[in-house]
Structure 1
Amino acid sequence: MTRTNDLAEPTAQTLTVFDGPRDIDNPGDAASAVVDLLDQWGKERLQAGPRPALMLSGGIDSQLLAAVYEAQGLNPLTVTVAVPGSPDAVGAASAAGHLRLDHHLIDTREVVGRWREVATALETDELWEVTAGVPLVAVFSLLNDLGITGPVISGGGADAVFLGGWSPSGALRGEQLRRAAATLSFPIPDFYERLIGPDGKQRYVQPYATQAMWSTAARLTESALYVDRGGVAYDKAALREAAVRLGIPRHLAWTTKDPLQKSSGLMGLLADEARAWLARRPLATHYSDPRTEPAEQALARLWLATGKTATDSR
C-alpha cells in the first residue's frame, strides 16, 4: 500500500525522482502498477466526496482516468473542450460512450473569446499559458451552471511523468529530471487561483502528478514506455495497455494527439482571428490576403502592425 503522503502532488522541495534500477520492462506490468496507484488515489481522494467531473479529451491520459474512476463507481461527469467534429471531440465522445459516462462538449469556437479575460487575470499574453487557461475557465463555468461542485479531474502531469512526446534515447533519467524541474517551476504560481478562485488548486486535481507516480514511472524501461506498432512510435505504452484492459477500444487507446492548447482548436482559432484582424487593416489585401497567405508573411504583417508600439522592439 502506498503511503498517503506519496499520493499528494509534490513541490519542488519535496519531489524525489527514484534513482534505483529500472526493473519494469513490460508494458503490461507497468499498466498494472499505474492502475493500482490511480485506483488507490481515487479511493483516498474521491470516494467520500461529491460527484467529480473529468476533463476528457481524445487522448490516452484522460481516457484512462475516465475508465479507472468509472470502474470505481464514481460516475464522473466528463467535459470536453473541442471543435465539434474534430478528432478530439469525436474521440472523447466515443470513449465516454463506451464507458457509459455523461458527456458535455464545449464548442471551442464559443469560448475562444475568453482569451482576453484569461490574459487579464494571468497578467500575461504568453500563448501556452493563455490557451491552457481558456479551457479551464470554460469547464468550470459549465460545471457551476450545472451545480457540480466536486473535484475536477485532469490528466495533467502525465506527459511530464511518463515522458510523453519524447523520442527515447537511453537517457531516461536525465529527461525525467529535466521534466520534473520544468513541471514544478510554475511561471505563474497562483495560476489556478487567478482563474477559478481561491480553492482552485484544491479542486483541480491531477492523479498522475503524485510522488508515487513519479517514483513508479522512474522504474519503467524504454520498452515499457514506448512501443512501435505498424511503423508508428507510440509513447506512454503502459497507459495505453491499461486503458484497453478497462474497456477503452484499442483504436482509441492507441492514437496520438496534441496538447490541449492545440487539440482543442484554440491555437488555430486564435491564428484565424489574428489573420482576420490583419485583413481589416488599410491596404491589407492589395497584394496578398492575410487570411490565406503563408504564416511567415502574416507574422511579418503582425509585427509591422504592432511592433512600432513595442517598448522592447530593439
Structure 2
Amino acid sequence: MVNNSNNGITLNREIKSEKEFSLKKFFFQWEWLLFLIFIAIHIINSQLSPYYLNTYTLLDATMTFLDKAFIALSMTFVIIFGDIDISVGSTIALASVIMAVLYNAGLPMPLAILVCLLVGVIAGFINGILIVKFKELSAVIVTLSTMILYRGIAYIILENQASGGFPMWFNFLGWGYIKTIIPFILVAFIIAAVIFYVLLHKTTFGRKVYAIGNNDVASLFSGVKVDKIKIIVFTLNGLMAAIAALFLTSKMGSTRPNIASGYELDVIAMVVLGGVSTSGGKGRMIGVLLSIFIIGFLRYGLGLVNVPDQVILIVIGILLIFSVMLSNLKLFSNKS
C-alpha cells in the first residue's frame, strides 16, 4: 500500500506487480479451439470407419504424415518472422537425390546421410543469405527462385529416373518401431518438438525471434543481430527439410527428383492453422503441434473411407479460412 498526502487528502493505491488470472482469457486461447477440433476429428472419423479408433492403427497413422511435420517445427520460426520458405519441398528432393546417387556410387550409407543433412544446411543457408543481402526482395520471391533452382538441380542429377537399393537398416527410419509398438518416427518427432518448444518459448533466441517478427527495425536498434538470427533460422529450416528427406526416402525405399511436391503447402497449412500469424510476431508451438495432428489424422481418417484427395484438400482449406476469420475477429488469443 502506498499513501500519498495532498492538501489533507490521503490517497490509497494498491500497486499490482502481476496481472490477475483471467479464466475467460485462459479458455479463449486458440489452442483450446484446436483441441476441440482435434477431438471432433476423432469422433467424426470413428463414425466413418469402425477401424479408426484402434491404438495400433492411430500410432501407425503417424508414419504417414510426421515426415513433413519436422519442417513445420522450424517453419514456425520463419513465419513468426513474417517471412516464408516455399523451397522446402525442393530441398527435400535435392538432399534425397544426392544422398541416393552418392550411396549407389559407393559412399557408405552413414556418410551419405551426413551429406544429405549438409545439403539441407547449405540450401537453407543460401536462402538466409539471399534474404538478408537483398532486402528489397521478399522471402517468397527468394525462396520461389531457390525452389525452382533446387528442384532443377535434382532433375539434372537424376533426370526422370529413380534411385534406391538402400541397406535394410535404413528402412528403420520410416517403418521401424520402438518396443514393437511405438513408431520410431513418432519418438524422433516428440524429441524434436520438445527441443523446438524450449528454443522458441524458453530461450533468449526465441524472444529475439518474436521481437524481430513484431518489428525488425526496432529490434535492430535494440541491439538484436537481426540478419544473423534470420540466417540461422533459414539454415535450420533447411536442416529440418533434410531430416524430412531421410524419413521420406526411408519410407519410399527409393527417390526421384519429383518427390515432396506440394510439401511446402502442407507445412505452411500446419503452421497457419496452428495460430501463427503470417504478419509476424504471434503464435505458439503448442498450436502448431495440435494442427499437425489435426491435419494428419483428418487425412488418414478420410482416406480410410476412400474420400478423394481433392475433397480432403477442400476440407483443410475450409479449416484454414475458418482459422483466419476467427483470428481477424480476435475472438481467440494466440500471443506468445
Q: The TM-score by the shorter chain falls in which range?
A: under 0.3
Structure 1 length-normalised TM: 0.25
Report which of the two has the higher share of helix. 2
Structure 2 length-normalised TM: 0.23
Larger CA Rg, structure 1 vs 2: 2
